[in-house]
Structure formats: C-alpha cells, structure tokens
Chain A
Amino acid sequence: MRSFRQFKYLTVATAAAAAFSVSVQAETLRLLTWGGYAPQDVVEQFEKETGIEVKITLSNNEDMISKLRATRGSGFDLAQPSQDRIVSAQADFDIYKPMDMSKIETAQIIPSMLAATEKNTQFEGEVYGVPHVWGTSGLIVNRKAAGTIKDYTDLCDDSLSGSVSYRLKRPTLIGFAFALGEDPFAAYGDTEKYQAILDKVEKKLTECKPNVKAYWSGGDALLNLMRSGEVSAAMAWDAGGWKLNAENPDIAFVAPSSGALGWIDTFVLPRKTKAEEAAYKWINFVMQPEVAARITESAGNFTAAKGSDEFVNDTLKAQFKESFPQADLDNINWYPPVPAGLEEMEGKVLDRVKAAN
C-alpha cells in the first residue's frame, strides 16, 4: 500500500512537472518550406538568440497548398509558396492570413522585389506575401553531349533521342509555350486563347515524347540522371545546374533564348498560425544580409535580402554571371499570379501528354 501511495505521489509529481515544462517550454515555429531554405546552422543561431524552437517540414508548392487546405490553414505557423500561387489558393480555399507589413523590417529587402511581391500577392486589398528566395527554371545541359541546346524546344531535337528529361508540370507547359513563340502570361486572362496555346504545346510535347528518358519529379532524381550521364539535357532549376557544374564543369545551367522562367518564393502566414510573432521574428532574422547569404549557400539560389551578395562565395557568383549575362537577366519571364481555374486546363493537357504513345 505504501509503495502504491509513493507511486501515486510520483505520478502526480511527474504530471505536474510535465504540465509546468509545457507552460514554460519555448515557443515553437512550425515552418513549411523548401529543402535548403532553413539550413541547420541558421536554425541553431535563431534558436539560441530567440529561444524559439523551429520545426521544419519540407514541401513544394502543390503540397503546401494541399496540406493547408486539408487543415483549413492550421498545423503550420509560416509557409513559403511561390508568389504566383498565393492569390488563387487564397481565393479558393481561404488558407492564409494577411501580412502585417509594419512588423517586417522592409529596409532589409530589395525594394523592387518587395514591390513586385506586394502587387502579386494582393487579395481583396490585403498583402499576403513577403519575398524570400528567387531563382529561375531553364536548361541544364551537358555541353559535351548536347552543346547545341539553346531553347526548350531544342530538347526535341532528333540527336537527343532518349536522353532528355523534364517535369510533367506547369513550368514545362509555360516554357514550351514561350519557346514556340507564344506569350502564355499575356493570355492568362483569356481562357480561349490560353487553350489554343495549350493545344499547340500539347502537340509539341507529344511529338517530343520519344526523346524523353523519364519525366523527373524529385530534384535529386534528376541530378542523379544528369550526373550518371543517362540524361544529357533537361529542363530544371538553376540551383541544380550550378550544383552539378561544381562537380562536373561540362554540365552547365543555360538560360533559354526565349527566356528563363523566374519565380520568387515568399513567406506567407497560414490562417490559423499559432506563433505569428515568432514568424515575423524568423522573417526578419533570415533577411539579415549575412544570414541570407548562408541560405543562398545551402539552397543555391539568391535571396531578396539587400546586400547579401557580398557574403556569397565567389563560385556561385561566377556561375550566376556565366548563366545570366545582362541580356539573359533582362529576358527572364517572371510568373504573374495564376488565375483560378487555369490549372485544371493545364492538368488535362498534362494527363493527355502522359497517356500519349
């Protein structure tokens, strides 16, 4: 009996201690982000300085929206979708919360990017996004095997039969549309015209199918295909190309002649965020030039933080210059916000391309 009573006291004591520890335990910030955007050393420094624990979930654009849609905007305190995918998701699913720009140290952010994101993520008069990391999609080319590749449609060249890879996702449709001489962004508001462009792209992608080794879906899978030489040209992100270039100088990222596709990943508050203050702290923390440079090193892409270029290593800067001479930099096609309903049309095209023989 005595031992039982002791046990009882012990249980009560442990329970109390547990409850207490929960109440004094540090705040946590649940971050829904991309691989490389929250490197370990940055997280550790943030935890040390603020006492806020950071929990990271890696994701991509579609997955972020789906996750937040399933929980109606809860489960995470800060998310990082691309700026063009915010308004339509907010219109359809109401999963985000407007940003309080007065809590952001806007002086740390490159003004043109801040303005562009502010404009593109506005819904019913409120701003939802703050720019973080930006980059492009273009071509990764093995110059020994496929030196002639200049544009997306060159991937369909007969000489590259069976050694090409791209994704079956919307950037591929957009890229091919530009390479075919169309301007899909200008047709965003005109469903009929957009469908006509999509039909043209569908035809091209179907013709191009014999050239494709495999449609890639994960970035690492593509890097492996390029590394092993099984694929000699691919449509992919610039950071992947620079990573491969560092390992093998023959492989390089090339900005296509019809223009690389520019994206900006942002910070957005999920509607039921539980650590809003912590989220603002994190944004202001990672936008410091020196911290932003460390994120650039880990993600391979540059950030919207003012003056962080100075802290970035020379290899990456040289690679960037080589891939983007000034003319190519001006030629980048930046994604405007996607109107709701467009992705359904694109989905049908992608399905048909996949099923075509």
Chain B
Amino acid sequence: MSGEPGNVNRTQYRLGFWLLLAPIVLWLSLLIILPHIDMVLVSLRERIASRQYGFSLSNYTAFFTEPLYWNTFVRTAVMSVIATLLTLIIAFPVSFYIAKVLTGRPKIALFILCLIPFWVSELVRTYGWMILLRETGLISGALQWFGLADQPVEMLYNDVAIMVGLIYTSMLFMVVPLVTTLDSLDNSLIEAGYDLGGSSLHVMKSIVIPHAMPGIMSGCIVVFMLTLGNYLTPTLLGGKDSLWFTEQIYTQFITRFNWEQGAAFGILLLVLSSLIVWLGLKITKQSFTRVMS
C-alpha cells in the first residue's frame, strides 16, 4: 500500500518524459531517419528498362571508378577545409575582441553587427557579391577610377570568388561559439598568465586557445558541414571549371532524372563528411560530446 503513491508518481513522470520526447523523436524519425533509409534503398537500385529497376551496387562503384565524381568530391572537401580554416583565422581575433576587450554597449553592438548580414537571405547576399565582383561591377569600376587598372577586371567566376562567398556566409557560425567559450574564460587567468611572466603569444597559446578549443571545434564542424553542403554560393559565384559535389547531386536528381545515382552521392557525402569530421576530432584530440556540449 505504501508504495502506491510513488508508483503513480513514477508513471506520471515516465509519461511526461515520453510526451516531452515525442516531438523530437517524431521529427527525427519522420523527417531525417525515414527519408535516409529510403535514400539508401533508392541508391541500391539500377534502371534496367522503362519502369523496371533491379538491385545493384553500380551507383557506388561509379563514384569510385569515374575519376570525375571522385575528383569533384575531393575538390569540394579540400576547398571546404580551406574555407573553414580561413573562417577560423578571421573569426578568432574578431571574437576575442568582442568577448575580452570590449564591454557593455560596444560589445553588444559589434555582436549585432556580425549578425545583421544574416537578416537577408543567402541568395540576396550572393547576388550582392556578384554586383561587387563582376567585370562591370563596383570594385572593377573603382579600380579603374583610381587608375589602378586600365581595363575592366573580372573577379567573378573563379575559385577565389567562391571562397570569399563561403567565408562570408559562414562567419557568424564561427563567431557565435567562439564568443561564447571565450566569454566563459575568467579574465584573472589571463592576468595570472601575464603576472607569471608569460608573453602575449605564450598566454594565447597555453591559456586562451586550450580553453577555447571546444568552441573552435564546434565552430569548425558547423562551418565545414555548411560549406560542404552549400549549393548556392559555388553555383552562382563559381566559374566554368568550378565543380561542387552538391551541384553534382542536384544535376543527377533534377536534370538527369537519375535519382539512383543522386541518392548514392547523397549517402556518400554524408558518410565521407562524417568521416572527415571524425578525423578532425581525432587529430585535435577532442571528444564529440565535449565539443557539442
């Protein structure tokens, strides 16, 4: 008898737990897990004749045997890694300045300034870059006006343009986690570092960066995944030689009607990018749970 109220409480607690969990479970299973299972199934099919499909691994072997697809993936991955590192190099001083040097109003103002570009859509921002960089664009015009160039300069349609666009797009996702972790670093620790005779470089290397490491890694993971999966920026800013893996997936699905190949590429992108992130964590000796908490 005495155990009863406790039981009721426990079942109520359990019910509440499941009710609270339900939305996220539904969200994950209906919108992420089920479609991915379907993708795997589609990727294992091959078109034999009209309306006839058979089991086949050819979509996966095509990725490894056709150098074009493989090269496109490597190119995309390498450019994404470079973009991530450049974003980190640019964002770190900015975040340090916001978190440690500024206080009060200017701090908030600067943080909001980083945020404002994200109030317009990515498409509009990319078109902005196109207006700036094109041959008859603002920068080219300004260079000619100042006499630094004697004819129109084309800065669009190349890999540098893609890089600029990607870094600009992902800046915020690096600044936010960095500012958060740097904020949590006690200023007295930095002061102690100086008091004990450490140089600025030394303090940065052995106090600030180790403390900020989880923030750096989580920022890097987010930025890397975003650039790797970006479609708009490489397509619009890239030139005739620019290949991007997501573009390849889009082409397979939409213009080639080859859903099987597209699905295989999608799965490969997921697996290979997860592998790269795992490698990155291993090399920097960070654990995923710590980085994401």
Size bracket, chain A contacts: 20 to 34
* CB neighbors of A among B234-286 (8 A): 235, 239-241, 243, 248, 251, 253-258
Contact A355 B71 (CB under 8 A): yes
| Residue A180 is within 8 A (CB to CB) of chain B in the complex | no
Distance of A147 Cα from B258 Cα, bound (Å): 41
Count of interface residues, chain B, beta-carbon cutoff 8 Å: 25
| Residue B136 is within 8 A (CB to CB) of chain A in the complex | yes
Closest Cβ of chain B to A163, distance in Å, is 10
* CB neighbors of A among B59-81 (8 A): 68, 71-72
Contact A213 B257 (CB under 8 A): no
Given contacts A215-B240, A229-B136, A354-B240, contact A92 B50 (CB under 8 A): yes
Interface of B is mostly: loop
- Give every chain A residue within 8 A of B72 (Cβ-Cβ): 355
Contact A347 B256 (CB under 8 A): yes
- Give every chain A residue within 8 A of B68 (Cβ-Cβ): 351-352, 355
A218 nearest in chain B by CB position? B236
Distance of A322 Cα from B254 Cα, bound (Å): 36
- Give every chain A residue within 8 A of B134 (Cβ-Cβ): 228, 230
One of A47-55, A59-67, A125-133, A138-146 at the interface: A59-67
Contact B50 A169 (CB under 8 A): no
Closest Cβ of chain B to A237, distance in Å, is 17
Distance of A6 Cα from B146 Cα, bound (Å): 73
| Residue B135 is within 8 A (CB to CB) of chain A in the complex | yes
Contact B239 A214 (CB under 8 A): yes
| Residue A357 is within 8 A (CB to CB) of chain B in the complex | yes
- Give every chain B residue within 8 A of A65 (Cβ-Cβ): 257
Contact B50 A347 (CB under 8 A): no
Distance of A91 Cα from B135 Cα, bound (Å): 46
Closest Cβ of chain B to A23, distance in Å, is 31
A213 nearest in chain B by CB position? B157
| Residue B105 is within 8 A (CB to CB) of chain A in the complex | no
A228 nearest in chain B by CB position? B136
Contact A357 B241 (CB under 8 A): yes
Closest Cβ of chain B to A169, distance in Å, is 7
Contact A347 B251 (CB under 8 A): yes
| Residue B51 is within 8 A (CB to CB) of chain A in the complex | yes
A165 nearest in chain B by CB position? B240
Given contacts A209-B240, A355-B68, A355-B243, contact A69 B51 (CB under 8 A): no
| Residue A94 is within 8 A (CB to CB) of chain B in the complex | yes
| Residue A197 is within 8 A (CB to CB) of chain B in the complex | no
Contact B51 A169 (CB under 8 A): no
- Give every chain B residue within 8 A of A229 (Cβ-Cβ): 136
Distance of A94 Cα from B50 Cα, bound (Å): 10
| Residue A343 is within 8 A (CB to CB) of chain B in the complex | yes
Contact A214 B240 (CB under 8 A): yes
Closest Cβ of chain B to A234, distance in Å, is 13
A67 nearest in chain B by CB position? B254
Given contacts A91-B50, A92-B50, contact A354 B157 (CB under 8 A): no
Distance of A117 Cα from B257 Cα, bound (Å): 23
- Give every chain A residue within 8 A of B251 (Cβ-Cβ): 347, 351
Closest Cβ of chain A to B56, distance in Å, is 15
**Which listed residue, A69, A212, A351, touches B257 by the CB 8 Å rule?**
A69
- Give every chain A residue within 8 A of B239 (Cβ-Cβ): 214
Given contacts A209-B240, A228-B136, contact A62 B254 (CB under 8 A): yes
Contact B256 A344 (CB under 8 A): yes
Closest Cβ of chain A to B81, distance in Å, is 21
B135 nearest in chain A by CB position? A230
- Give every chain A residue within 8 A of B255 (Cβ-Cβ): 62, 169, 347
For B240, B251, B256, which residue has the most chain A Cβ atoms within 10 angstroms?
A: B240
- List the 10 shortest-distance A-B pairs measured between CB atoms, nearest first: A228-B136, A91-B50, A347-B256, A62-B255, A230-B135, A66-B254, A214-B157, A355-B68, A92-B50, A212-B240
A/B interface sample: 24 pairs, CB < 8 A: A62-B254, A62-B255, A63-B254, A66-B257, A91-B51, A92-B47, A94-B51, A169-B255, A212-B240, A213-B240, A215-B240, A217-B235, A228-B135, A228-B136, A230-B134, A343-B257, A344-B256, A344-B258, A351-B248, A354-B241, A355-B68, A355-B71, A355-B241, A357-B241
Other 6 A-B pairs with CB < 8 A, given A214-B240, A352-B68: A69-B257, A89-B257, A91-B51, A343-B256, A344-B258, A355-B68
A interface residues, Cβ below 8 angstroms from B: 62-63, 65-66, 69, 89, 91-94, 162, 169, 209, 212-215, 217, 228-230, 340, 343-344, 347, 351-352, 354-355, 357
